[in-house]
């Protein structure tokens, strides 16, 4: 029996389907409780990022600035894998996107 544990699936800028599972959603909101209620911003960041940074072990970090969030003006960071399972690992807001961009931008709008 196959159980669908996906909350949503969205396309990355490279056209690959990226999944958000219930397990990862719970991880996100437990680790970063302010992310609860921001599912749409996570999906939008994957589908329409302003930039993408390469992670340290094969993951990608999509980045998008939101003028209004439930806490203040913040940049949404979504860490995900495009190869293999193609899923969102985690997500958080930051007010220091330049620190993340130093890792090396691999795609920019």
What pLDDT is recorded for position 84? 87
User: What are the tokens at 25?
Assistant: 């959603």
Counting Cα atoms < 13 Å in the Cβ hemisphere of 50 gives 11
Q: For the chain, which residues score pLDDT lower than 70?
A: 1-4
Contact (CB, 8 A) for 97 and 34: no
CA 24, 30, 36: angle at the middle one, nearest 5?
Answer: 85
Please report the domains of the chain, with CATH numbers, ordered by start residue: 6-103 (3.30.1450)
What pLDDT is recorded for position 1? 41
What pLDDT is recorded for position 69? 87
Rounded CA-CA distance 68/73 in Å is 5
pLDDT tens digits, 5-23: 999 999 999 999 999 999 9
User: What are the tokens at 58?
Assistant: 């094969």
Other CB atoms closer than 10 Å to residue 93's CB: what's the count? 20
């Amino acid at each position: 029996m196959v159980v669908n544990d996906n909350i949503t699936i969205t396309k990355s800028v490279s056209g690959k389907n990226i999944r958000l599972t219930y397990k990862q959603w719970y991880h996100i909101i437990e680790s970063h409780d302010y992310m609860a209620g921001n599912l749409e911003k996570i999906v939008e960041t994957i589908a329409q990022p302003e930039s993408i940074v390469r992670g340290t072990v094969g993951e990608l970090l999509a980045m998008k600035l939101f003028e209004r969030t439930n806490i203040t003006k913040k940049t949404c960071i979504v860490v995900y894998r495009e190869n293999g399972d193609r899923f969102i690992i985690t997500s958080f807001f930051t007010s220091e996107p330049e620190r993340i961009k130093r890792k090396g931008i691999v795609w920019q709008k």
